[in-house]
Chain A
Amino acid sequence: MEQFDAVIIGGGTAGLSALKKLSDLNKSAILIEAGNQMGTKNVSGGILYSKRDPSTTIYNVEDVFGSDFVSSAPIERLIKKYYLHATSKSKIFTLDLTPLHEYKTNFGYSVLLNRLVPWLAERASESAEKHGGGIITGVHVSDIQWIDDKTIVTTNELEEFQAKAIIAADGVNSEVAELTAARHKFTPEELYFGVKVIIKLPERIIEERFNLDSSEGSAHLFAGDITSNLIGGGFLYTNRETLSLGAVYHYDSLLSNPITPSQLINQLIENSLISEYIKDEVPLRNDIKDLPKEDQLKIHLSASKLMKTYDELRYKYFSKNSKELVESGKFTNIEEIRTKIDSIKKDLIEKYGVQFVNNYVELEYSAKLIPDGKRCRMKKPFYRNILFIGDAAGRGIFIGPKIEGLNVGIDDAVRASIAISRSLENSNFGSDYMGKYYESLINESPYTNDMKKIDKDYLTLFLDIVRNISTGFIDPRYSFVLNLMKNSGFRGIAVGLANILGYDKILPIVESKNTYIQLPISLANRLGNIFTSSYVPAIPTLSERIAKLQYNDDTDSHIIVKNKKSEFMKKLVLLCPTKCYSSEEGEVILQHEGCVECGTCSFETDWKHPKGEKGIIYRYG
């Protein structure tokens, strides 16, 4: 049986950081990832933060992957502005929350994981190969057993092998946690549910529309009536040539008020401010009917080719790299590109009956659960010789709709690597030696011990921002604090008061319908401006959204329903983001083929990730 020093299960941002760090510590490590290609299983919002804390150490992405991270990695835009839009019908009131975003921050970049993860993987495997390690894709770990003094890893695809130490970086729906019973399965109260679409928009149009300098971006959060009375909110992040538009909700709030996730996205799109943000000029085909089938097909294919050329050229024209087309000699100047685009457009209209209309273009629909670290992080993030990191350890940080999971996972990864490295040097993998040491390192992390403090700091910052707003209509529980905040002399007292109230008391106030829904609605009603949209977006149906997704189908289901009649399962008929559940005569039936592996149904099912290479293949993430 083959044997390896360190085995990392899961190749998201956390797992890859562990591989890179262990290799840089001159240790041999292999990483096993279920997806066929790196980054095809990972979903984020997402803003990747690099944080600082003068009083302690934080391990950031650039510490692990190189100081050239910002200049070399395929990251999207440096987020400079951070807004919260309170909505009530067509009224919108905008708060500038940039100080919240800048809190202890070196930088925050918008990222698409399908772009970023392969780059991280390339860097990590380069280091790993120097020590005989590397990344193995398309392999699903199905079991871990301890026989005598051996730890044996079983997969669906490969011969069994042995590991001295294991890092579980297998995400929020961690099977390693399940197999080992290292922690309980996260409950709905401990989770958020995220759903997102990627929207296509040319680079320079994004910059003009959001008033951005080249390479810079902004983040927009939404709260108020667009949340359908659920605790959570929407987000819109600018990427280079796309926008990430999504919603994040408390899972238990969704359970008590089930709604189709796709509908949550639609509600965002129907908002006039958002629909204007995502608007583009989009070609619309007309059916050609009077010709024989074969000719129709040929015209269809030729029109496709021309539309593809049009689209590529237009995106290039509106991109930073438009000059390349001139430099390569294809065009003599930028104006000529414009002329060419217009002439193709004319051809499309005249020869192929294509129309150009105001609409928007969705590229990908995705969904995933997110652990709420405040509620569910593992107090003891280890089991035997396994260390848990990132979402697998339940360590995301939530502050309202602001999420930090990526950076926390990276920090965990470094700490786990340090612990394993020490164990490899001393050939001691006992939980008292390795696990306990990791625990102590994790407890030094500001992401662990300052979690409560972070919340309070954020609250202070938030109150600071809203202190100039008329408080008459704000919940009396706030207005007292707010009035104190108005006077800088009393600000310290206000924070002190928040401390006295106690963390556990503050949390329900902060995460209440009042804060998430009523407060923004009344803000918008009282102080908001009216926004109207110049068009009605043609929102794809759920079937169209699913049809655009790419899957590698497995004939066997990776999910087994335990109780077809339970109340929970019945709710999944609505709650499954891709409608894998239907109900017939009081029983719930699963059709696993459209599953996006979000984990929402895992609470009452026998839930596994699909076998290696199988299942959803995200192209943006």
Chain B
Amino acid sequence: MLNVGVIIKLEPDFSEGNVSYNSDGTLNRAETKNILGPHSAVACNAAFYCKVKYGAQISIGTMGPPIAETALRQAQVLTNAEELNLYSDRLFAGADTLATAEVLKNGVGKMFGGGIIDIVFSGHRASDGETGQTGPQTAWKLGYTFLGNVIEFNIDSDRKVVIAKRLISLQGMDTIIEEVESPLPVFITIDPSYRSIYNTVSQRLLLNKFRKEGRKRSEDYRQFLKVYTSKNLDLDPKRVGLQGSPTIVYRVEKIPRARTNRKTEIIDPSNPNNIMPLITKIIQLARGK
């Protein structure tokens, strides 16, 4: 049986009608709804794919205040997870990514009663903070092979390897897709462009069955929920929360936007005489003139 873990995060819902700002322009967290982060949702989809295709069992974990249960519940709807884990302790407050990774490492260690987790998925970042390091740091602490920006993967259960495609885009270079093979266990961060593909009727039927089960389970999600504190995660208080965080956020500054220096010209498309000069101009620009 394939064991799959997913690390998720509760995030503010930035969509119109849900987000609210204080008069000083900062996010009003109390008035803004919280939801399962969109990148976490993609990670959930990848885990669910393992369930439909390889019969995996799924355990979901998140570090956060008790309200983060909402995210676990939503993740259960998406994955039909067998297990939900909330790592919640006042001591965890003020954690940077490294201290978060410490909690998550021990959290993953407790999944399915401490069994080996073959694949851990996470989103590639959160939408309310530049915290994309959490995944790689957790992988490093767990001693797992790390695969980032994965857009497609398949598992060869006989050989116990995962074959994955990664999207690599570096500034100033063409985006490439790299195909890699890695022995299990692995830690995968899923690229936002990932889509699960189910291409037989039987897979689709199974998918429906699991989705329905997931919705049903989530109605009674507390039955699947385990809450961990620093104590029962066997954590050293010095390595978690503010104490365990070497990063000091001195101040978050708005980056002043450079004044744009573009000239705008409005062209009336209904007059065909305007089109040719426009094309000529575009060609000139394209040639770098």
Q: Mark B13-45, 1 if CB is under 8 A from A, else 0.
A: 000111111000100000100000000000000
Give the segment of B140-148, B199-207, B277-285 that binds chain A: B199-207
A4 CB–B CB distance under 8 Å? yes
B201/A158 in contact, CB under 8 A: yes
**Which residues of the partner chain A approach B204 to less than 8 Å between Cβ atoms?**
134, 136, 139, 158
**Which B residues are CB-close (under 8 A) to A305?**
17-20, 31
* Complex CA–CA separation, A148 to B204 (angstroms): 27
> Are A308 and B199 in contact, with the CB atoms below 8 A?
no
Q: How far is the CA of A214 from the CA of B284 in the complex (A)?
A: 69
Q: List chain B residues, Cβ under 8 A from A161.
A: 200-201
- Please tell me if the beta carbons of B16 and A134 are within 8 angstroms of each other in the complex: no
Binds B, one of A16-24, A296-304, A361-369: A296-304
Question: CA A276 – CA B20 in complex, angstroms?
Answer: 36
Given the interface pairs A302-B20, A305-B17, the reply to whether A159 lies near B200 with Cβ below 8 Å is: yes
Complex: A302 Cα to B16 Cα, angstroms: 9
Partner pick for B201 among A136, A294, A304, A308, CB 8 A cutoff:
A136
Q: Do the beta carbons of B16 and A301 come within 8 Å of each other?
A: yes
Contact across chains for A4 and B16 when beta carbons are under 8 A apart: no
Task: Check if A407 is an interface residue, CB within 8 A of chain B.
Answer: no
How many angstroms from the CA of A136 to the CA of B203 in the assembled complex?
A: 10
Would B209 and A129 count as touching, CB distance under 8 A?
Answer: yes
Please name the residue on chain B nearest to A311 by beta carbon: B17
Interface size class of A (residues with CB under 8 A): 20 to 34
Does any Cβ of A come within 8 Å of B169's Cβ? no
Q: Which residues of B contact A136 (CB under 8 A)?
A: 201, 204-205, 208
Chain A residues closer than 8 Å to B21, beta-carbon distance: 298, 301-302
Closest CB in chain B relative to A434 CB, distance in Å: 22
A158 to B207, CA, bound (A): 14
Q: Which residues of A contact B18 (CB under 8 A)?
A: 305
A158→B203 CA distance, assembly (Å) = 10
Complexed CA–CA distance, A262 and B201 (Å): 40
In the complex, chain A residues 434-465 whose Cβ is within 8 Å of any chain B Cβ: none
- Picked from A4, A157, A298, the residue with its CB within 8 Å of the CB of B199 is A157
Q: Is A30 part of the binding interface, using a Cβ–Cβ cutoff of 8 Å? A: yes
Partner of B200, one of A2, A129, A298, A301: A2
How far in angstroms is the closest Cβ of chain B from A351? Answer: 11
Contact of A30 among B17, B19, B20, B205 (CB under 8 A): B205
Judged by a CB distance under 8 angstroms, whether A135 is at the interface is: yes
Give the chain B neighbours of A4 by CB distance below 8 A: 201
When distances are taken between beta carbons in the complex, the residues of chain A under 8 Å from B205 are 30, 132-134, 136
Task: List the A side residues contacting B201 at CB < 8 Å.
Answer: 2, 4, 30, 136, 158-159, 161
Distance of B166 from chain A, by nearest CB (Å): 25
A304 to B13, CA, bound (A): 14
Given contacts A30-B205, A158-B199, contact A298 B25 (CB under 8 A): yes
Cα–Cα distance between A4 and B20 once the two chains are bound (Å)? 52
Give the distance in Å from the alpha carbon of A302 to the alpha carbon of B21 in the complex: 7
Interface centre among B25, B201, B202 (most CB of A within 10 A): B201
Tell me the minimal C-beta distance from A589 to chain B in angstroms: 15
Q: Does A125 contact B (CB under 8 A)?
A: yes
Is A2 a contact partner of B202 (Cβ separation < 8 A)? yes
B9 nearest CB across to chain A (Å): 23
Contact with A along B190-229 (1 / 0, CB 8 A): 0000000001111011001100000000000000000000
* Assembly CA distance A294 to B21 (angstroms): 12
B7 to chain A, nearest CB (A): 28
Q: Please, how many angstroms separate the alpha-carbon atoms of A132 and B206 in the complex?
A: 10
Interface string of B105-134 (1 = CB under 8 A from A): 000000000000000000000000000000
Residues of A within 8 A of B19 (CB): 301, 305
Contacts of A132 in B (CB 8 A): 205
Question: Which residues of B have CB within 8 Å of A133?
Answer: 205
Q: Select one of B20, B199, B202 contacting A301, CB under 8 A.
A: B20
| A138, closest chain B residue (CB) | B204
Residue of B with least CB distance to A122 = B212
CB distance from A450 to the nearest CB of B (A): 39
Residue of B nearest to A136 (CB): B204
CB neighbours of A302 from chain B (8 A): 20-21
- Give residues 590-613 of A contacting B (CB, 8 Å): none
Q: Which residues of A contact B31 (CB under 8 A)?
A: 305
* The residue from A135, A295, A304 contacting B16, defined by CB atoms under 8 A apart: A304
On chain B, the residues within 8 Å of A159 by CB distance are: 199-201
B118 to nearest A CB, angstroms?
27
Chain A: which residue is nearest B20 at the CB level? A305
Q: Of B19, B31, B204, which is in contact with the most chain A CB atoms at under 10 Å from its CB?
A: B204
Measured between alpha carbons, how far is A595 from B38 in the docked complex, in Å? 29
Give the distance in Å from the alpha carbon of A4 to the alpha carbon of B201 in the complex.
10
CB of A611 to closest CB in B, whole Å? 14
Chain B residue with Cβ nearest A2: B201
Binary flags per residue of A392-424, CB closer than 8 Å to B gives 1, else 0: 000000000000000000000000000000000
8 Å CB interface, A491-543 against B: none
Complex interface bits, A23-47 against B, C-beta within 8 A gives 1, otherwise 0: 0000000100000000000000000
Name the interface residues of A123-157: CB closer than 8 Å to any CB of B: 125, 129, 132-136, 139, 157
- Closest B residue, CB atoms, query A306: B20
Within 8 A of B (CB), among A49-101: none
The minimal Cβ–Cβ distance linking B249 to chain A, given in whole angstroms, is 23
Which residues of the other chain, B, contact A158 by a CB distance below 8 angstroms?
A: 199-201, 204
A308 and B17 in contact, given A2-B200, A158-B200, A159-B200 (Cβ under 8 angstroms): yes
**Quick one: closest A residue to B14, CB to CB?**
A301
CA distance A308 to B33 in the complex (A): 13
Measured in the bound complex, the distance between the Cα atoms of B204 and A135 in whole Å is 8
Q: Considering the chains assembled together, what is the distance between the CA atoms of A125 and B208 in angstroms?
A: 9
Nearest Cβ distance between residue B211 and chain A, in whole angstroms? 11
Complex Cα spacing A11 to B109, Å: 45
Chain A residues with Cβ under 8 A from B202's Cβ?
2
Distance in angstroms from B14 CB to nearest chain A CB is: 10
Chain B residues with CB under 8 Å of A30's CB are: 201, 205
Q: Give CA–CA (A449, B50) in the complex, Å.
A: 53
Q: A304 contacts B200, CB within 8 Å?
A: no
Evaluate contact between B208 and A134: CB separation under 8 angstroms. yes
Known: A139-B204, A159-B199. 9 other contacts (CB 8 A): A2-B202, A129-B208, A134-B209, A158-B201, A158-B204, A295-B25, A301-B21, A305-B17, A305-B19
The 3 closest A-B pairs by CB, nearest first: A308-B17, A136-B204, A134-B205
A/B interface sample: 11 pairs, CB < 8 A: A2-B202, A30-B205, A132-B205, A133-B205, A134-B205, A136-B204, A158-B200, A158-B204, A161-B200, A302-B21, A305-B19
